[in-house]
Structures are given as C-alpha cells and as structure tokens.
Structure 1
Amino acid sequence: MRRTPARRPTMKDIARRAGVSESAVSFALNDRPGVSAATRDRVRRVAEELGWQPSTAARALSGEGSATVGLVLARPARTLGVESFFLQLVSGVQEALAVRRLGLLFQVVEDLDAECAVYRRWWAERRVDGLLVVDPRDDDPRPALLDGLGLPAVVIGALDGVGEGPHGAISNLWADDTGGMASIVGHLYDLGHRRIVHIAGLPELAHTRRRIDSLRTEADRRALPDVVSVTTDYSDAQGAAATRRVLAAAHPPTAIVYDNDVMAVAGLAVAAERDVSVPRQLSIVAWDDSVLCRNTHPALTALARDTAGFGRRAAEQLIALLDGGPARRVRDVAPRLAARKSTAPPPLPHPARPEDVPDSPARRSE
C-alpha cells in the first residue's frame, strides 16, 4: 500500500507551534523589524525543528511548482570529468526537458546519504517538481524516500519493484546488462579466449552485480574456470592499477572487459607500457562505446548504445509522470557489440622444442 506523501511545513505551522501570528513568523524568518529578539529566536528554533526551508522560487509559493527536474550523482567527482556516459546522458535529458521548458538542477555528492539529504532539502525548499535517479543499488533506500515525499521520479537502470510495485509515482527505464555481458563473453569465447578478466565498476551498484553475475553464469555454462571480476571506482587510475595486477599474474588473462571507456583506454596504455600487444597478446572490450574507443589505436571493441537517446527517453518518462500518467517499467533498446581491432583470437601456446623435453630423442642424444 502506498504511503501518504509527507507534507512540507508552512509558515502557518510555525506560527501555530510558536504561538505567534503568521506575520510575526514572516518578520522573524526574513530578519525584518517588528518582532522582539526572543520571538525571533523562538520562531527560528521552531522552524528548524519542523524542517522548514524557504522556497527558492516565487512560483513555488503559489503552489505552481518550480518547473525544474533534479539529478544528483553520488560518484567520485574525479571520475565524471572524463567519462562520456554521463555527459551524453545529460545531453539527452536536456533535449527532452527543453521541449517543455523545464530546467535541470544538477549536483554531485560524496555518497548515498548525502544524495538522500539533497532530496529532502530540495523537497523542503520546493526546488524540483521531479527527479531522475541514477545508479540503482540493491536494497536501495531512495524509492521509498521519494515515495514518502511525494516526488515523482524515474529510476534509470533496472531496479526490482520500481515501476510496477508499491512506488506509485516512480517509473523505471532500464537496459539489459545481463544480455550485454552475455554478448561480450560469447564474442570472446568464439574467438578462443578462455582466461577473461572483468574490471568492473563500483561493487554496490545493482548493474555492477548483474554484470558480474552474468559473467559468472556464462563462464559456468562454458566451463571456464579462469574468469574473474575485479571492482574499481570507474576511474582511469584504478582501472590502470587493476590492469597491472592482472597482467602480472602467473597466468594473465588473454582478454579484459572494462566497465567503461575510460578504464579501457587506461588498460590499453598499461598494455603498451608492459609491451603486451593488443590484440595479438591481449584483447580489450569496453562496456560503453564513445569517441575515445573509436579513436585509440587499435580502435576498441565496445558495447554500443544511444546513450543520449537513453537520457531523452528517461526524461520523457518523467514528463509523463508530471503530466499525471501512471508509473511504468520500460525496457530500453538492447545495446549491441561493435567489434573492432582490439579483439582477436588469443595467442597460441608456444610449441615445446625437442631439446626442452626431458625424454625427447634430442635430449637423449646429448
């Protein structure tokens, strides 16, 4: 059963709790003369207790809304400047919002708790009419929070129960991560690769888990014991460090799958640093295609999709909710694998020379 959305505290609530008139509340909160210092302090204390925040738009004071959509990213800021996925996603979002003259309020925070705090503040301040929510997690607290606040939202990325369950004002737009990983493993397996490493993103994200699970399922189905996943923060630094570790192993992989383009390009640089030829000795696949993937040497095999279109469709789903439409769970177009020069059959084992085999005629004749 859907809970009743929380109600924002008003000046009337503050006046009732503080035992003063609404005009006195207005004077106190706007630091205008007309009330005593004691009354001013009491009003401000009550406002803080109730969680009251001033509206940031005159239209919101009249109940018309702020004509703004919010987007918060709880990601390390250093990973966003060079990653093309979010830039393309936001460009698609903005394209759809511009048609309806809706603004986009964007903020980067450190973690999930900070993200939830931003949502509460935006709700109290009437800053946004709806939200786009990215990076779903298992046991994600955000749908219940937004449902309780009564904020319409679209979760971008698969999250069980959203768009068809109890969250009546939250839609879900998702792409098939499981199928995407299956297509990558199939491509590498058909080329002859048996030792595959997946350098993944943040372990707490639901799509990271689905990719890891899909990799393990595909490996088990093909009886491949030497297939593993290594998690990172999506940055080029951690992608490069993970690449160095796996290439230094006693039995290094013949293929590496990276969860974004930035790490894949960093991995290509590490291979060059270690004189590992791509693709003759090592094949590389990037999860999201980009101009980076297409302009390296060799060009990187990548999982391609219309990321800007994905963002545009997410914004259109949110606009439909704002227009009073029902919550929906929509599966987006499946990504496709664009095979390029960074993948090829693995190197053949070096045949043993007769003189290296203890019981060979060449050794016995010595």
Structure 2
Amino acid sequence: MRRTPARRPTMKDIARRAGVSESAVSFALNDRPGVSAATRDRVRRVADQLGWQPSTAARALSGQGPATVGLVLARPARTLGVESFFLQLVSGIQEALAVRRLGLLFQVVEDLDAECAVYRRWWAEHRVDGLLVVDPRDGDPRPALLAELGLPAVVIGAPATGTVPYGAAISTLRADDTAAMASIIDYLHGLGHRRIVHIAGLPGLAHTRRRIDSLHAEAARRGLPDVASMTTDYSDAQGAEATRRVLASPLPPTAIVYDNDVMAVAGLAVAAESGVPVPAGLSIVAWDDSVLCRNTHPALTALARDTAAFGRHAADHLIALLDGAPTTDAQATLPRLTPRASTAAAPVTEGGGPGS
C-alpha cells in the first residue's frame, strides 16, 4: 500500500489551532511586538504541540536555490577520525554533489534513535531535500520513517528484505559482502589455513551479519570446524584487544580477517608484541585497502575497491531521484583481493599438517 508522506505543520495550522491570525503567529514565533504575552505563549505552546520548526534555509521559503543532501553516521565518533573508508566515501559523495552545486549536511550521532530524531528535525526544518543512509540493519526503522516523511534517499548497502516500503522514494546501492568474504576464505584455504578468525565490526549491521554468515557458510562447505567471528566497534583498541584474546587461546588462529584497515594494523602490532611472526606464524587480511595497509611492514593483504567511486555512485543515484527518476537497486563492483606480504602458507604444527 502506497504511503502518503507526512505534511509539515505550517503557520496556518498553528493559527487555526490557536484561534489567531497568521500574522499574529508570525509575530509570536519571531518574537516581534504586536501580540500580547498571553497570545505569544499560546501560539508557542500550539507550535510545540504540532511539532512545528522554523525553516533554516532561505531557499525553502522562496522555493529556489540549490538542494542539500543529508548524511548521518550513528557510529562511535572516535572510530571515524582514523578510518579511511568513510573519509573516502564522503570525498566521493562531495565530488558528485559539487558538480551540481549541491550542499552536504553531515552529522555524527550516538545511536539509531538519535539518527531518526535528526531526520525528523531536518525534515521539519526544511534542511534537506534527500538523504544518503549508511549501515543498514536488520529490522531497520529508517526506510519506513523516510517513506513517512516523503524524503528521497539512497541506502548504501543492502537493506534487509521487506524493510523498504512499497512506493517509497528509496534507491539502494549494494556491496556484495557475501561474495567478498567467500573470496577471502577461498584464498586463505588455498594457502592451507584451517583456523581462521574474523574480527568483525559492529553487531546488528546488515553487512556485519552477511560477512559472518558467509564466513560460516564457506567454513561449513570446506569442513573447517575452527572458524569464528568476534564483533567490535571498529576501533583500533577493540581490534587489538580481540587479537590478544584469540592469540592467547589454546588453539590460536593461523589467519585473522579484520573488518577494516585500522583494526588490521592494530592486530599486526599485537602480533609483534606477542612474538607471533607475520606471515610465518599468522596471516592477516584487511577488509578495506588503504594507505595504512600499503605502508605497514609487512604490507597487508586487503580487499581493494574504489571507495570514492562508491560514494560518487551513491550521490549520483540520489541526484537522479531528486531529478524525478524512478528508484533503482544497483550493485557495486565486487572488491578485489590484493595479496601482499602479510599472508603466506599456513604454518605446519605438531599435528603434521598446515594449520592443523
């Protein structure tokens, strides 16, 4: 069933509810003389009840001027300053928006509830014309909210089936995390690795679940019992702590796959302090290639993709929606595994076989 987007409350709505003229509403809300204190209080109380917000964009008042695109990240702020993925993604987004002289409004929040609150506020204040949405989740409430508000959006990543309401102006740009993880396991298995640990990102994210599911599916297909995943907040601190735990286990892994470059570099440092040689005693793979991966010693094997191009494509899909084009469901190019010096054949253990 097609949803009817919610309508922003107007000064006319406030005037009707408060029983005053629209000019009186304008005077009261703009703190201008011409109305009594009692009328001013009544108008403001009604405005709060209706959820009215002042428009902060002059173009929204005139109907003219460039559009603005919003992007909200509900991730720990401390993880964003060092993670190259989002820096490159935003760079690509900005590059595409600049061609059309569109603005980008960016905000970091603590959690999904706060992100939804930002969307409601931006909608009420006429701040954005469309949204780029990242980190899809299982049971994600954001597509339904955006459909309710009538805000065009592009979801970067594959949302869970059934979460995008029919008729919503929401396109998707998907990355094939399942096939990407399969390519990593195929590579490590070919090197003789049988004990593989995946140090993953935030739990609850759809792409985290897909990577974990793919890891275990590939392990089951190859009969590998000693395969596990651990979730983190993507930070170097949690990546290092997870590495210490698995290397101290009775049967430590011979290969570790990290969900970003920052954790992989932290894991490399922990291996060095633990006396575990890389790659002779431990192979390391990073999910996203970066300058960090290429300039450590040894250089890190990583999944390489053009993240800036990924951002440009997402922005292009949103621009198309703003221009009136139909929604699309596109898939990005599969990342390419780039072997470097951090991976090698699995060590031969006391059992006589590689990684046994």
Q: 2:277 matched to 1:277?
A: yes
Query: How do 1:164-175 residues align onto structure 2 when only pairs under 5 Å count?
Result: 166-175=166-175
Q: Report if the CA contact (8 A) 2:144-2:163 is conserved.
A: no
Query: How do 1:148-187 residues align onto structure 2 when only pairs under 5 Å count?
Result: 148-161=148-161, 166-187=166-187
Deviation readout 1:164-207 (Å, 9 max, x if unpaired): 86143000001100000000000000000000000000011000
The secondary structure found in structure 1 opposite 2:197 is: strand
The secondary structure found in structure 1 opposite 2:224 is: coil
Partner of 1:356: none
Query: How do 1:71-110 residues align onto structure 2 when only pairs under 5 Å count?
Result: 71-110=71-110
In the TM superposition, residue 58 of structure 1 has moved relative to its aligned partner by 1.5
Q: Report if the CA contact (8 A) 2:136-2:160 is conserved.
A: no
Partner of 2:210: 210
Deviation readout 1:267-310 (Å, 9 max, x if unpaired): 00000010110000000000000000000000000011000000
Q: 2:340 matched to 1:340?
A: yes
2-structure distance, mates of 1:36, 1:224: 77
1-structure distance, mates of 2:8, 2:150: 10
Q: Report if the CA contact (8 A) 1:65-1:129 is conserved.
A: no
Larger radius of gyration: 1
1-structure distance, mates of 2:242, 2:2: 44
Partner of 2:308: 308
2-structure distance, mates of 1:164, 1:123: 19
Partner of 1:188: 188
Q: CA RMSD in A?
A: 1.4
Partner of 2:45: 45
In the TM superposition, residue 59 of structure 1 has moved relative to its aligned partner by 1.3
Cα 1:294/1:125, change in 2 over 3 Å:
same
Q: Report if the CA contact (8 A) 2:144-2:164 is conserved.
A: no
Deviation readout 1:234-273 (Å, 9 max, x if unpaired): 0000000000000000000000000000000000000001
The secondary structure found in structure 2 opposite 1:158 is: coil
TM-score with structure 1 length normalisation?
0.94
2-structure distance, mates of 1:163, 1:317: 19
1-structure distance, mates of 2:161, 2:24: 46
Q: 2:125 matched to 1:114?
A: no
Query: How do 1:130-149 residues align onto structure 2 when only pairs under 5 Å count?
Result: 130-149=130-149
In the TM superposition, residue 347 of structure 1 has moved relative to its aligned partner by 1.2
In the TM superposition, residue 318 of structure 1 has moved relative to its aligned partner by 0.0
> What amino acid does structure 2 have at the position aligned with 1:210?
R
2-structure distance, mates of 1:234, 1:244: 15
Partner of 1:54: 54
Q: Report if the CA contact (8 A) 2:321-2:327 is conserved.
A: yes
2-structure distance, mates of 1:84, 1:275: 28
Runs of 4+ in 1 over 4 A off after TM superposition: 161-165
Cα 1:325/1:164, change in 2 over 3 Å:
farther
In the TM superposition, residue 161 of structure 1 has moved relative to its aligned partner by 4.3
> What amino acid does structure 2 have at the position aligned with 1:348?
V
Partner of 1:128: 128
The secondary structure found in structure 2 opposite 1:256 is: strand
Q: Report if the CA contact (8 A) 2:199-2:258 is conserved.
A: yes
In the TM superposition, residue 158 of structure 1 has moved relative to its aligned partner by 0.8
Cα 1:317/1:252, change in 2 over 3 Å:
same
Q: Report if the CA contact (8 A) 1:201-1:234 is conserved.
A: yes
Partner of 1:355: none
Cα 1:351/1:140, change in 2 over 3 Å:
closer
Deviation readout 1:5-39 (Å, 9 max, x if unpaired): 00000000000000000110000000111100000
Partner of 1:28: 28
Number of aligned residues: 352
In the TM superposition, residue 351 of structure 1 has moved relative to its aligned partner by 7.9
2-structure distance, mates of 1:163, 1:324: 22
Cα 1:44/1:127, change in 2 over 3 Å:
same
Q: Report if the CA contact (8 A) 1:163-1:328 is conserved.
A: no
Q: Report if the CA contact (8 A) 1:143-1:167 is conserved.
A: no
Cα 1:211/1:351, change in 2 over 3 Å:
closer
TM-score with structure 2 length normalisation?
0.97
In the TM superposition, residue 350 of structure 1 has moved relative to its aligned partner by 4.3
2-structure distance, mates of 1:114, 1:2: 27
2-structure distance, mates of 1:336, 1:73: 26
> What amino acid does structure 1 have at the position aligned with 2:141?
P
The secondary structure found in structure 2 opposite 1:285 is: strand
| Identical amino acids, percent of aligned pairs | 81
Which runs of 5 or more residues in structure 2 are unaligned? none
